[in-house]
Structure 1
């Protein structure tokens, strides 16, 4: 059996040396033809007494036999030592041509693992060697039976493995991939204008005399307060010298809108006296009333200043509304 194994290795070596040809199928065919052409010659040289001379490195006491241990051993350590021996020495230090060929293959694969795929492209589904391997794997009895003269191959037997189970602990780390995300937290502020008028009062307005003054809320906050200047009873308002009624002065006191108006206000029947009334608004909070002299000298009513209190008040209510568009991203944080 040892001789047959070495013969297969020699033939396989012949086939392997041809795989550098671009067409692997043609290379296989060439290798097969070459191997068959030399099979008879080589086989005739292999005898019990002459195996060592015909087969390089043949021995009946090969040290590698101890690695197998009847199928219970491990080839890992010897293989690693063999690889180390080839990769730590140079080609010119190899013992012979056969060792050199083996080590050169090891050196190439170790130095550039991808190079073998370029130099020896093998299609695992169509390569003839792979096809044969798959056939043997699928039905070894049927395939190998044709190689023997005594019937089906009987080298495969059931064995009980006594080597204990081995366990390997593998550790991996799982991380969240950092990805930059943007989101918005939008604050919407609703401003509501609230206006009210609680009444208007006057400070500093005189009592008695020719004039009366009143004040009240305007129709809207823009119009502010309403100020009215009239002639006090029993006097009457006449326009110039005619016995016709003339209305008093009524004006809106708007913030930021000052004015200065003058109007005929009072005419007496005695001496035909009259007076011009003048009203000045400063646009803030003060009304000034002037009684200008008429035709008989001397004002009928002196100058005075009135403060406007109260009136329209403007306030604002603020309502905050948040639109949190980042809730989904926040939920992912650890």
Structure 2
């Protein structure tokens, strides 16, 4: 507050108090207060409007700076002030200098004040405290109310553990086992084999004109083989020639060629061995009891198998299932 304003207000209050000091009743005090109303204007007029300029460090700039902080984050404003004061150079106005001097003192105080490290083992205060704690009787001897030994408490050892008793009782009841007859009705349908859990492969079958894979009689693959014969069997003189044979997937075997270089009177063409057919399977699917083939070994479909379904009839056991065992009292 402006010092002149405060002094003027204080003078007015003292004057008012001196005038009201002689009042005897509340009514008189109230009437006297009303009489002072007209003096408010005199007090107002006595205040100097330019008194703000006489307050140290108060000017339009500092006033506006403070007003800008209204409603803002004061933590950020404080950090900004710490940063600004860190590089502040004191001027000739000692009053203005004290703001940053105070801030810098508060920031630097934790690092400049004396630091102490207490040795928790050898520090005299710690050693003395531990000694008192461990031997209190040595420090209370001769002290009224603390000296001597209290003997009302004694150590006792008990070797008798807690005992527990377990009591049991058994109640027997005759139980009559109930019996009932359940009927199993088995049905089946013919289905193409697809690894059904209830399929019975023993009865796997193919349609008419087809053969199950494990019953095919054709060779597994087309094959070539050789045999040695006497050259004289073909009027090729003496010696032995090699005959080359080929068996197709129908089981038919025929001569594929020969090698007559070992004969003494060979034919004009010594060696006949046309290109061999590629070795291939005589069936285009595994030859097992799951697959059906034509007689020539062409796969047609999976075998038909009976798939069984168990249908239990428990109607005769309905009463027993509902009540369980019967206990006779």
TM-score by length of 1: 0.20
TM-score by length of 2: 0.20
**Higher RCO (CA-CA < 8 Å; seq separation 6+):** 2
Greater share of residues in strand: 1
Greater share of residues in helix: 2
